[in-house]
A = this chain, B = another copy of it.
Amino acid sequence: MSVVVLTGGVGGAKLVLGLIRALPPREVVAIVNTGDDFTHLGLAISPDIDTLLYTLAGKANAAQGWGREGETWSFMEALRSLGGEDWFALGDGDLALHVLRTARRAAGETLCAITADFARRWGIGATLLPMSDDPVATQLDTDAGTLDFQRYFVERRCAPSVRGIRFVGAGAARPAPGVIEAIGAPATRAILIAPSNPFLSVDPILAVPGIREALMKASAPVVAVSPIVGGKAVKGPTAKLMGELGLEVSAGAVAGHYAGIVDGLLVDARDPPMDLAIPQARADTLMTTLDDRIRVAHAALDLAATIAR
């Protein structure tokens, strides 16, 4: 039996870490957003895949929320002295992922194959699948013009007001090998949507033709973990973005966004009670410690098991 989880970076990686501690890691398949991927200084960077790799391999910088523990910064210092663009921080150790991925992709390997190899070399037992081997680029229409995701997220720190979101290339992208199979596999007992940003981290995955359809017809229950905790987003631009898109910042709005795909919603215990058209469960969904992450994983799996019965 296995569990499939759709995930973005930081917040989602916490749930995936909880899952691989709650279950044998080999039973966990993560389908990872690549809409944030971009080429910077000629390097192919996959921020969400990297966050998953670092988090699951125990190499993540927990205090900082991104990047590697014990990272050094000689590259950035030298880059600045040479007049290179320094708005996106590339740690010295982190560069190894980008340089090697870029070289291996240039040699014809797929992102999927490279990611699987990196995970294996770092002893990660779970399966990490990029949503697609084809390029998909999240772009935001904002009051500061059209911005590529990293320009919005990192350079502008999510300050511009968002009017719309596009996933350039999604229409022509194919799900990576194993994605559709994992969602539809008879051995899949639950499909989770991590508490990642629904609009920026999960929607790109759903925009890849075939994935939404596969979720709708999956025999396994699909359970989303609400990213709203006590009426707020834990981190990142989720709440600000929901306001800009004219949505209420609530688990109900999240349920509405995932309508037709999800069979259940795990809601934070602090949220006000609400009626939903789908089954819900409540738990403390704030994931500060490893125990929190395992607890949320169990709560989501329990809800899925209830629905499946």
Q: Contact residues of A with B, CB < 8 Å?
A: 41-43, 68, 71-72, 74-79, 81-84, 91-97, 99-100, 102-103, 106, 117-118, 121-122
Give Cα A145 to B76, complex, Å: 40
Say whether A84 contacts B72, CB under 8 Å.
Answer: no
Say whether B74 contacts A92, CB under 8 Å.
Answer: yes
Give Cα A96 to B86, complex, Å: 11
Say whether A75 contacts B93, CB under 8 Å.
Answer: yes
Residues of B within 8 A of A92 (CB): 72, 74-75, 78, 92, 95
Residues of B within 8 A of A100 (CB): 41, 79, 82, 84
- Which of A77, A78, A102 has the most CB atoms of chain B within a 10 A radius of its CB? A78
Give Cα A193 to B230, complex, Å: 74
Copies per assembly: 2
Give Cα A260 to B125, complex, Å: 67
Give A132 Cβ to nearest chain B Cβ, in Å: 22
Give A124 Cβ to nearest chain B Cβ, in Å: 12
Residues of B within 8 A of A43 (CB): 99
Residues of B within 8 A of A117 (CB): 83
Say whether B77 contacts A74, CB under 8 Å.
Answer: no
Give A184 Cβ to nearest chain B Cβ, in Å: 32
> Which chain B residue lies CB-closest to A39?
B103
Give A105 Cβ to nearest chain B Cβ, in Å: 9
Residues of B within 8 A of A93 (CB): 74-75, 77-78
Residues of B within 8 A of A41 (CB): 99-100, 103
> Which chain B residue lies CB-closest to A122?
B81
Residues of B within 8 A of A72 (CB): 72, 74, 92
Given A41-B100, A82-B96, A82-B100: 18 more A-B contacts, CB < 8 Å: A42-B102, A42-B106, A43-B99, A74-B92, A75-B75, A75-B99, A76-B96, A77-B93, A78-B93, A78-B94, A78-B97, A81-B122, A82-B121, A82-B122, A83-B117, A92-B95, A95-B95, A95-B99
